[in-house]
Structure 1
Amino acid sequence: MKISTKGRYSVTALYELARHYGEGPVSLKSVAQSQGLSENYLEQLMVPLRRGGLVQSIRGAQGGYMLAKSPTEITIGAIITTVEGPIAVVDCLLAEAGAAEQKCAKACGCVTRGVWEQVCDSISQVLENITLQTLLDNAKGKENIGCAVS
């Protein structure tokens, strides 16, 4: 499974909104500049995030976006599934989640299906246990540490 830029950018954008939680709306231009993301792409990502109840938009000169819930209530899993759909490492699990039309003909007798279900469950559990607040807390310890690329 590979998380696309939709998922990664959505998490990054909502992290930036979490940094400003309680301060009012943040412009997408500000989010884009701060996180090095495309403003046009962020506009597209905000549509499902708003529909999913994770962000709210404020119109006008002082408008922008803000989290619809506290950073402690928004999980990375909720963000990813809102923009990417169900998490699955194999197509037969997507069919079960309603994301595909056909079910696998071998699903009932498949000896490896249980492995893929466990992998999906593990990934989902990790993503549901990390909130935007977790990211904020983790960032506090890294503010003055430089990144070395090897």
Structure 2
Amino acid sequence: MKISTKGRYGLKALVDIAMYSNSEVVTLKSISARQNISEGYLEQIFSTLRKSGLVIGRKGAQGGYSLSKPTNEITIGEILRVLEGDLVLVDVKNLSVVDNLEKCINENLWDVINKNINDYFDSINLEDLVNKYKSESNNFIYFI
């Protein structure tokens, strides 16, 4: 499993919205400037996120995007599955089992790893990432 730039940038953009929305819409232009992501690429990502119902788009001069649910209800797993598809190391659903050894490996290795990957990403939500980022950002010491 490899998370593409679509998944990484989409996650980064949603964390940005969670930090900067203050119950208002956030423009792709502002996300693009803060996160150094192409506005055109963000438009593609947000088209997918909007169709999935993770974000709500508002058109017009005061337009932009907001999250469709509170940050503690949107898991990282949900975001990555929308942008990347199934989060699996080995897709055992599409393997034809040839023998008992392969069945044993699928059930005791690949299925377990796939479950752990999904459980891990589902155990973290946007609010967790925002809080972690804010706490780590406050630990910097500046010297003059």
Q: Same fold (TM over 0.5)?
A: yes
Give how far 1:48 is off: 1.5
The within-5 A match list for 1:1-150 is 1-91=1-91, 93=92, 96=93, 103-106=94-97, 109=100, 110=102, 111-114=104-107, 115-146=109-140
Question: Which whole-Å deviations, capped at 9, do the CAs of 1:92-121 have from their partners, x for residues lacking one?
Answer: x3xx2xxxxxx3222663132120111111
Task: Pick closer, same or farther for the CA change 1:83–1:108 going to 2, 3 Å.
Answer: farther
Q: Which has the higher helix share?
A: 2
- Length-normalised TM-score, structure 2: 0.88
User: CA offset at residue 145 of structure 1?
Assistant: 3.8
Q: What's the Cα RMSD here?
A: 1.5
Distance 2:38 2:129 in 1: 21
> 1:66 offset after TM fit, Å?
0.7
Distance 1:108 1:50 in 2: 43
- Distance in 1 between residues matched to 2:66 and 2:43, nearest whole Å: 13
Unaligned runs of 5+ in 2: none
Displacement, 1:21? 3.7
Match of 2:56, SS? strand
- Residues 8/25 of structure 1: CA separation in 2 closer, same or farther (3 Å cut): same
Q: Distance in 1 between matches of 2:98 and 2:58?
A: 47
Contact 1:21 1:70 in 2 (8 A): no
Mapped to 1, the partners of 2:30 and 2:99 lie a distance apart of 50
In the TM superposition, residue 82 of structure 1 has moved relative to its aligned partner by: 0.5
Counterpart Cα distance in 2 of 1:6 and 1:107 = 35
TM-score calculated relative to the size of structure 1: 0.85
- Give % identity: 39
For 1:108 and 1:54, the matched residues in 2 are separated by 42
Letter in 2 for 1:131: N
1:23–1:2 distance in 2 versus 1, CA, 3 Å: same
Tell me the secondary structure at the aligned position of residue 6 of structure 1: helix
* Matched residues, number: 137
Amino acid at match of 1:90: V
Indicate how the Cα distance of structure 1 residues 68 and 104 shifts in structure 2: closer, same or farther if over 3 A, else same. Answer: same
